[in-house]
Structure 1
């Protein structure tokens, strides 16, 4: 049996594992992600979040995607693990700092909502309005790193279906000539007008599918829109799973300091049986 906590941030759902005693190694956690995150066949989730000890912060967050790969950072996941850490006593204060592979994250838990201060985003080499195509789909994009690599496409018109977003997102994500490490793909449109917010659909690397929400994708989309002069520094980002609010402050040396606010819902405590961990197909 393995104890997991099911949480979601705007529909981006995770299984959280307490590994503060380091009983599970990387290979084991990668296997758990591939086995437990299978929908319909097992517990189902977009990924696994793991709380581990840190020598410099309150704790360390690790992220294992549904395909077993370890990701650097996840904004919605960071909100979930911050609330989890406070509720479980891993962090003794609602204001905390934790490690990720994408940099340290400051968080403040406010009931079922969490505000994150993400690591600075370097915009000195921000790529804006580059052109490319996949098949018959021509697009202009921005590329930047918000803990993980993100491609932001400002749509002239929306695609006709989720399947089409999935197809195009997967094709762009696989363009290793453009993105050697792969990329998350964010399709962005205005919500009536840009001053009313952004609507964002994200195809996530590692999940290899559309997700209901992506916190770093919301942040990347807000950064790209702000630097393109389309929005102000406070941007409401509407994902299919809900609202993320992104606030941007100018930092030193051509950086932006993003804050990300959104929900972190505590769903259930689950004991996964050995059958849930059986060899996946």
Structure 2
């Protein structure tokens, strides 16, 4: 089977062109290929497929085999892949996902996609839509006890569930301990992505992320969007911020007129390969 490894600021996936070949048991395949010692090594696999409602479709499987609704870094790489490989030769294209159809705007120089802006849609703060089990219909700066510790959290959906916590220093967060505890807490019926954010200025933040199904990753596009929206909702920043992640920077803008979130960042090829499965 042919595959392509790509990364968006360190969030790496294995991409399979399903215009050319079909994949059986993608969950099992993702577990096998994602293993960094015995497989190719990645945060999961992404299938690029034909779509009857968009230019193409992406289906995402995490490293543990679970299916993801949306991946902001992954969808930028899909845009670069389909453009540069000649599948969809348009600088504005639509990609179907489990979270709906997303519009991508490609910044192309000499035939190379140098950055991608994605319209991630409108954030949803409704607890039942995220989903999160909580007595209020919104969860913005709410006190919640996880384990024996009380945290103040903001929960939002960017096509998938996110829980944002503000901290003084992201480098000091015991993410391997706190991340899985919050991800799998009973208040999140479908688990959740957990973001830790340190506000540097009204236009700039640091963040780390514990991704549902993958653990700590170098970057998470939907997580960066969730952080930007949570910062603005808590009046800690403006509506346009640069988010510094372990793998690099994303630029997020929460449009006031449309309520839509725009995410801009890079996408890179790593290598092509073949593997026996």
Asked if Structure 1 and Structure 2 have the same fold, meaning a TM-score greater than 0.5 normalized by the shorter chain, the answer is yes
Counterparts of 1:23 and 1:153 in 2: how far apart (Å)?
40
SS of the aligned residue for 2:191 comes to coil
Asked whether the equivalents of residues 164 and 196 of structure 2 are also in contact (C-alpha less than 8 Å), the reply is yes
User: Which residue does 1:199 correspond to in 2?
Assistant: 206
User: Which residue does 2:132 correspond to in 1?
Assistant: none
C-alpha distance 101-22 of structure 1, shift in aligned 2 (>3 A): farther
Matched, 1:150 2:158: no
C-alpha distance 105-151 of structure 1, shift in aligned 2 (>3 A): same
Query: What does 1:1-281 correspond to in 2, within 5 Å?
Result: 2-21=1-20, 23-25=22-24, 28-110=25-107, 111-123=113-125, 125-158=137-170, 160=172, 164-176=174-186, 178-191=187-200, 193=201, 195-207=202-214, 209-251=215-257, 256-272=259-275, 274=276, 277=277
TM-score by length of 1: 0.89
Counterparts of 1:37 and 1:246 in 2: how far apart (Å)?
28
SS of the aligned residue for 1:147 comes to coil
Aligned length: 262
SS of the aligned residue for 1:190 comes to strand
Residue by residue, what CA displacement relative to the aligned partner does 1:100-156 show, whole Å, maximum 9, x if unpaired?
001111112222211111122234654201112334543100011001100000114
Counterparts of 2:245 and 2:171 in 1: how far apart (Å)?
15
SS of the aligned residue for 1:122 comes to coil
Counterparts of 2:82 and 2:156 in 1: how far apart (Å)?
29
Bigger relative contact order, structure 1 or 2, given CA contacts below 8 A and separation 6+?
1
SS of the aligned residue for 2:78 comes to helix
TM-score by length of 2: 0.90
**Once the 2 structures are TM-superposed, how far is the Cα of residue 58 of structure 1 from its aligned partner?**
0.1
Structure 2 residue ranges without an equivalent (≥5): 108-112, 127-136
Asked whether the equivalents of residues 252 and 264 of structure 2 are also in contact (C-alpha less than 8 Å), the reply is yes
Residue by residue, what CA displacement relative to the aligned partner does 1:250-277 show, whole Å, maximum 9, x if unpaired?
356xxx20100011011111112x2xx4
Counterparts of 1:136 and 1:58 in 2: how far apart (Å)?
48
Structure 1 residue ranges without an equivalent (≥5): none
SS of the aligned residue for 1:230 comes to coil
Counterparts of 1:159 and 1:87 in 2: how far apart (Å)?
37
What RMSD, in angstroms, separates the aligned Cα atoms of the two structures? 1.6
**Once the 2 structures are TM-superposed, how far is the Cα of residue 78 of structure 1 from its aligned partner?**
0.6
